[in-house]
Amino acid sequence: MRQSTLFGRTLREAPADAQTPGTKLMLRAAIARPLASGLYTWLPLGFRVARKVEQIIREEQDRIGAQEIRIPVITPAEYWKETGRWDTLEPVTFRTKDHGGHEYMIGYTHEELVMHHARNEILSYRQLPVIVYHFQEKGRDEARPRAGLLRVREFVMKDAYSIGRDWDELDKQYWAEHRAYAKSFARMDLEAVSVESDTGNMGGDVAHEFQVLIEVGEDRIIFCSNCDYRANMEKATRRIEAGAPTNKVPKPSEVATPNTTSIEALQTLLGQPAPAFLKTLLMRDAAGNVVAIVLPGDRELNEPKLRKVLATSEVKFANNADFAAAGAVPGYIGPVGLRARLLVDASVDGRSYIAGANKRDAHLRDVVNGRDFTGERVDVHDVRDGDACPKCGGKIMIKRGVEVGNIFKFGPYYADKMNGTYLAEDGTRKPLMFGSYGIGIGRAVQTIIETHHDDKGIIWPIAVAPFQVHVIALAGKEPEINTAADKLVAELEAAGLEVLYDDRDETAGVKFADADLIGIPFRLTISKRTVKEDGVELKPRGAAEAEIVPRAQVVERVAAHVRRALQ
Give the residues lining the site for a copy of itself (CB under 8 A): 1, 4-9, 30, 33, 35-36, 39-44, 47-48, 50-51, 65, 67-76, 78-79, 91, 94-99, 102, 104, 106, 113, 116-118, 120-123, 126-130, 132, 134, 137, 139, 141, 143, 153-154, 156, 504-505
Closest contact distance (angstroms) between CB of 105 and a copy of itself is 9
Closest contact distance (angstroms) between CB of 247 and a copy of itself is 55
For 296, list phi and psi in degrees, rounded to 5: -65, 155
Nearer to a copy of itself, 27 or 484 (CB): 27
| Closest to 210 measured CA to CA, from 443, 13, 50, 39 | 443
Q: How many angstroms separate the CA atoms of 454 and 22, rounded? A: 10
HEC per residue, 149-168 = CCECCEEEEEEEEEEECCHH
Nearer to a copy of itself, 33 or 399 (CB): 33
Closest contact distance (angstroms) between CB of 142 and a copy of itself is 9
Closest contact distance (angstroms) between CB of 439 and a copy of itself is 17
Nearer to a copy of itself, 153 or 238 (CB): 153
Residues linked to residue 40 through DSSP beta bridges, in sequence order: 34
Closest contact distance (angstroms) between CB of 178 and a copy of itself is 20
Q: How many angstroms separate the CA atoms of 311 and 486, rounded? A: 64
HEC per residue, 176-207 = HHHHHHHHHHHHCCCCEEEEECCCHHHCCCEE
CB 285 within 8 A of CB 312: yes
Closest contact distance (angstroms) between CB of 103 and a copy of itself is 10
For 508, list phi and psi in degrees, rounded to 5: -60, -40
Nearer to a copy of itself, 8 or 330 (CB): 8
Closest contact distance (angstroms) between CB of 56 and a copy of itself is 16
CA 419 vs. chain centroid, Å, equals 31
Closest contact distance (angstroms) between CB of 120 and a copy of itself is 7
Residues linked to residue 239 through DSSP beta bridges, in sequence order: 388
Closest contact distance (angstroms) between CB of 169 and a copy of itself is 12
Nearer to a copy of itself, 33 or 183 (CB): 33
For 251, list phi and psi in degrees, rounded to 5: -60, 155
Closest contact distance (angstroms) between CB of 153 and a copy of itself is 7
Q: How many angstroms separate the CA atoms of 89 and 81, rounded? A: 11
Q: How many angstroms separate the CA atoms of 288 and 102, rounded? A: 29
CB 347 within 8 A of CB 369: no
Neighbour-count burial of 96, counting CB atoms closer than 10 A to its CB (0-12 exposed, 13-18 middle, 19+ buried) = exposed
CB 281 within 8 A of CB 290: no
Nearer to a copy of itself, 16 or 36 (CB): 36
Nearer to a copy of itself, 104 or 460 (CB): 104
Contacts of 289 (CB under 8 A, 6+ apart): 310, 312, 341
Nearer to a copy of itself, 119 or 363 (CB): 119
Neighbour-count burial of 168, counting CB atoms closer than 10 A to its CB (0-12 exposed, 13-18 middle, 19+ buried) = exposed
CB 57 within 8 A of CB 159: no
Q: CA angle 169-417-85, nearest 5°?
A: 110
Closest contact distance (angstroms) between CB of 137 and a copy of itself is 5
Q: How many angstroms separate the CA atoms of 211 and 396, rounded? A: 17
Closest contact distance (angstroms) between CB of 523 and a copy of itself is 21
Nearer to a copy of itself, 70 or 251 (CB): 70
Nearer to a copy of itself, 69 or 424 (CB): 69
Nearer to a copy of itself, 129 or 330 (CB): 129
Kindly tell me the sign of the dihedral angle through the C-alpha atoms of 298, 304, 308, 314. Answer: positive
- Residue count (the chain): 567
| Closest to 449 measured CA to CA, from 8, 19, 16 | 19
Nearer to a copy of itself, 73 or 336 (CB): 73
Closest contact distance (angstroms) between CB of 531 and a copy of itself is 25
Kindly tell me the sign of the dihedral angle through the C-alpha atoms of 77, 81, 82, 88. Answer: positive
Residues linked to residue 401 through DSSP beta bridges, in sequence order: 219
Helix axes 44-63, 441-451, angle to 10 degrees: 110
Nearer to a copy of itself, 2 or 339 (CB): 2
